[in-house]
Structure 1
Amino acid sequence: MKVLVTGAAGFIGSYVVRALLLENYSVIALDNLSTGNEGNLVENVPFYKMDITSSELEAVFRIESPEYVIHLAAQSSVLNSMVNPMEDCHANLVGTLNILRLCKQFEVKKCIFASTAAVYGNPSILPVKEESKLATLSFYALSKLSAEKYVQLYENLFGLKSCILRFSNVYGPMQASGVVTSILNRLLEGEDPVIFDGNQTRDFIYVKDVAVACIQSLMSDKTGVFNISSSTEISIQEVYEELSELTGVQTQPIYESLRDGEIERSVLSNEKAKINLAWRPTYSFVEGLKETIQYYSFFKKPN
């Protein structure tokens, strides 16, 4: 079975490609390398350097004839979306529509779409379930939610099977940005980490668990929206304290106000994914942090 992975040189994409290969899938990698790292690409996997909004994407589908698509390519920064909503919309909405158009044209069996917990905004009831009220606080969340609607309509109108995976906060080795990476890099450099508020909470999910979720949703005959999360609520302050203890580095964090578009509390129920996709996270937060610290410790040491 041949799978096209968009965003294959990105943080999550690189893990998904490797996980697919372990399951003996034939993989085609696609990335425009705007934020992806060419070093993340796997040797001997066909790679197309291309933007998902490009008209040339049709040639890739015609040449490779993928049976499945895992669509991970995106503008994924909340802050960038607030500064440049047009760019965010073009990448996340227009790009996804281009993917869906070609999936229909070339009779792709199933499309897996990476969405985000950000579509829930600041929920009043926790943990958040898939049917919970949606309230976008950023242009990034809005573009992802809009793309979800296109994915669902393509299934309803044209029979293009799909799974929409709403990831909670993904972390792990090779992540270019994110709260875990930001705090950890500062600690390993012997610097004071910057913490925005610290009382806000997140549901952290390890990247290897996310990669498995992508494959499980591909293999499953189920379609629909699924939260991919640990179902554990952890504050950013607790993240700092855990990283400080595991690294043995003590600093004085610099505290700043919560930024525009940021969610105050987030924890997602993953029961639907457990039941329907036969998936469950296997890494605890501490286990994931230990692997992440081990990876970054090869490159940086405290002063």
Structure 2
Amino acid sequence: MAVLVTGGAGYIGSHTVAALLERGEEIVIVDNLQQGHREAVLGGKLYEGDLRDEAFLDQVFKENSIDAVIHFAANSLVGESMTNPGKYYHNNVYGTLCLLEAMNKNGVKRIVFSSTAATYGEPERVPIDEHDRTVPTNAYGETKLAMEKMMKWFDTAHGIHYVSLRYFNAAGAHASGKIGEDHSPETHLIPIVLQAALGQRPHISVFGDDYPTEDGTCIRDYIHVSDLADAHVLAVDRLRRGEDSAVYNLGNGQGFSVKQVIDIARNVTEREIPVVMEARRAGDPAVLIASSDRARKELGWQPKRDKLDDIIRSAWQWHSANPNGYGKN
């Protein structure tokens, strides 16, 4: 039996494919390659196509014996979601509806969903708990929450059990050095900092240094991408054991400030990283950290690469070896 990974040519998806390969799973990948990279797929059977294409998706299920799905395929740029929400509802929500209907039609009853801690919006408390209110402040987070709710009702109506994983910032690269982070445009802090170290950006902008934190800059939760991949694999195991649907936060257990990220990147790269202070961005909370106590207890998930130095070092190894991303060196 195979695991279907949608968006498996993307950043976190490709690392999850690698984790599945390492334990001998049969893997089927669906990716439209709008953001994903064929070169990031280290194995398995890759289908290039869109979840919203009913005939294509039905073909994938008919040609393979699939017993579980890991769902990454989605647009994920917060800023873009606010200027073009229709794109996010059509791709994220409608795409997920098509996937769930295809699963139901073909008798596949397990799905692990790559969600986001953006479903919470402005946190009521830190660290954020799974029982905290979900009031997204952007269209991206709203569509992810809608996708979760859809899975809940498909579970009620059709017995499709799900595990939804909510997390903030993935970073780092695979230990093999073969795959890493290559987005266009790049919006994540660590790769942007490393692009500045490589001279690909004139500086790194820091948006606000007057927050109520130790050094005045925002604090965020960073998790090594391979630790995230491990959590998705453990979630598949939970569903295969026949356990109920569940929602889990994934967090490092501690937060790191923007200044900390830049300072450690300077030490790791031994490069100058110019900084320009900018005004605060609207809607940026001072501290965002997710509690992962429940995932640790129920999934048995334990981050193995939780030191920020190690996370940034693995990212630097990828970016310095692949300064122009996949297939462009």
Give the structure-2-normalised TM-score: 0.87
Alpha-carbon separation, structure 1, partners of 2:13 and 2:256: 25
Q: Are 1:51 and 2:62 counterparts? A: no
What is the aligned partner in structure 1 of residue 18 from structure 2?
18
Deviation at 1:261, TM superposition (A): 5.0
Pairing partner for 2:313 from 284, 290, 299: 290
8 A Cα contact 2:112 2:232, kept in partner: yes
Alpha-carbon separation, structure 1, partners of 2:96 and 2:290: 24
What is the aligned partner in structure 1 of residue 123 from structure 2?
123
What is the aligned partner in structure 1 of residue 298 from structure 2?
276
Alpha-carbon separation, structure 1, partners of 2:282 and 2:79: 8
8 A Cα contact 1:2 1:66, kept in partner: yes
Pairing partner for 1:197 from 186, 208, 211: 208
Deviation at 1:3, TM superposition (A): 0.5
Alpha-carbon distance change, 104 to 258 in structure 1, aligned in 2, over 3 angstroms? farther
Alpha-carbon distance change, 91 to 262 in structure 1, aligned in 2, over 3 angstroms? farther
Deviation at 1:39, TM superposition (A): 1.2
8 A Cα contact 1:67 1:109, kept in partner: yes
What is the aligned partner in structure 2 of residue 206 from structure 1?
224
With 51-60 and 91-100 compared, the bigger mean Cα shift is at 51-60
Deviation at 1:263, TM superposition (A): 4.1
8 A Cα contact 2:109 2:159, kept in partner: no
For each residue in 1:44-67, what CA deviation from the matched residue of structure 2 results, as whole angstroms up to 9, or x when unmatched?
x21111111122212211221311
Deviation at 1:154, TM superposition (A): 1.1
8 A Cα contact 1:201 1:236, kept in partner: yes
What is the aligned partner in structure 1 of residue 100 from structure 2?
100
Deviation at 1:300, TM superposition (A): 4.4
What is the aligned partner in structure 1 of residue 81 from structure 2?
81
What is the aligned partner in structure 2 of residue 166 from structure 1?
166
8 A Cα contact 1:122 1:265, kept in partner: no
Alpha-carbon separation, structure 2, partners of 1:117 and 1:257: 24
For 1:196, the aligned partner's letter is F
Alpha-carbon distance change, 238 to 32 in structure 1, aligned in 2, over 3 angstroms? same
Give the structure-1-normalised TM-score: 0.94
What is the aligned partner in structure 2 of residue 133 from structure 1?
133
SS in 2 for 1:34: coil
**CA RMSD of superposed structures (Å):** 1.7
**Residues paired across the two proteins, number:** 300
What is the aligned partner in structure 2 of residue 7 from structure 1?
7
Deviation at 1:262, TM superposition (A): 4.1
